[in-house]
Amino acid sequence: MDDWKRVIWSDETKVNRLGSDGRKWVWKKRGGVLTRQHVQGTVKFGGGSLMMWGCMTAQGVGCACRIDDNMNAQLYVDILDHEFLDTLASCELEVGDVIFQQDNDPKHTSRIARQWFRDNGVEVLEWPAQSPDLNPIEHLWWHLKRQLAAYETEPTSMHELWERVVVEWGKIPDQVCINLIESMPERVMAVLEAKGGYTKY
């Protein structure tokens, strides 16, 4: 567990301004009619979404940032230069004491990203392909989006959506991150038992 708690977990996610990407389910009585509370309206325009990068540690959430441009290898290195290193500083962590986790997206494994890790002496966790079951930050995104969905009104703009993201990100309890990281042995065991197949995670 001490080794898992050395890992800084990172990822990107999309946050929608209106609703979710997937289905939503509601409960109603058999034979009952749909009411306004059962149906989410749609819009012809003005929806949209934003992309963000974030990370978490055994001390709680790290820095996060909004991604305004198309994510490419250089932008990713800029994020490492700022948000990742700022996370180390704010958590009073030394580069040699942590292991950085990222998935195998081509931007993450680009030549300039690999060079950045070498130049900065950052150990990168070797990560298997196609492994969403293993990354606990996926559940942190779920927690964040659930908090955003609890607002009684939709954000009126992308700026307001990002303001809400910043507020809710900062309110995530440290224990949420700790619990997710402490689930890693069970996650690994579940994947092994499923022989690389799907798990409850």
- State the CATH number of the domain containing residue 186: 3.30.420.10
**Spatial separation of the C-alpha atoms in residues 64 and 83, rounded to whole Å:** 7
* pLDDT tens, position by position, 82-127: 999 999 999 999 999 999 999 999 999 999 999 999 999 999 999 8
* pLDDT tens, position by position, 116-142: 999 999 999 998 877 656 889 999 999
In a domain, 36, yes or no: no
The tally of domains found in the chain comes to: 1
In a domain, 40, yes or no: no
User: Is residue 10's pLDDT more than 80?
Assistant: yes
Closest CA relative to residue 103, chosen from 67, 82, 133, 78: 133
> With contact defined as beta carbons under 8 Å apart, do 158 and 164 qualify?
no
In a domain, 130, yes or no: yes
In a domain, 147, yes or no: yes
In a domain, 92, yes or no: yes
In a domain, 169, yes or no: yes
In a domain, 31, yes or no: no
**Spatial separation of the C-alpha atoms in residues 12 and 64, rounded to whole Å:** 9
**Spatial separation of the C-alpha atoms in residues 82 and 67, rounded to whole Å:** 13
Domain that holds residue 65: 4-17+46-193
* pLDDT tens, position by position, 29-69: 777 776 766 555 544 445 689 999 999 999 999 999 999 98
